[in-house]
Structure formats: C-alpha cells, structure tokens
Amino acid sequence: MLFEAYLPGQESIDTDHLFIAGQQAALFTVVNRLAKETRKKYNFDICMRFSIYDCLITRFLIIEDTREIVKAL
C-alpha cells in the first residue's frame, strides 16, 4: 500500500554511505518522494544489508523509517 501512496517518477535516492566487509555489505540512503494524495514532499532513511556468496546476493534486509512516510500521507 505504501508503494501506491507516492507519485512515480517524482522520487530521488541519495546514497549516503556504502560499507563492504568480506561477504557483507550495507548501504545507507535517503529517499525523496512526493505523496500522491497530499502532494507533500517527504524524505526517509533506508538501510539495506546484503550477504554475498559466490558473487550472488544470498540474503537481503531492508529497514526504512516509515514514520516519515505516514506523516506525509
């Protein structure tokens, strides 16, 4: 439902940090979007963690600050 709440093509993603340690990686980003119903611009943080084995992503975890998304809706 949250994916339907913003205007497609009106977002941008800014990479803040990328950490790589052996077979683990973490990516920190800030996503900027425009709410479809309220037309409010909002930003929220995302952290993605990857486990990599034999050049393949074998595990993926995403954490986002949904409070900022809900406030914009």
> Could you read off the pLDDT of 11-67 as tens digits, one per residue?
889 999 999 999 999 999 998 888 888 888 888 899 999 999 998 999 999 998 777
- Alpha-carbon distance of 46 to 22, in angstroms, equals 22
Q: May I ask the CATH architecture of the domain 2-72?
A: Roll (3.10)
H or E element in which residue 67 lies:
helix 66-72
* Single pTM value for the model: 0.72
Cα-to-chain-centroid distance, residue 27: 9
- Sign (positive or negative) of CA dihedral 11, 69, 25, 61: negative
Cα-flanking dihedrals φ and ψ of residue 68, to 5°? -65, -35
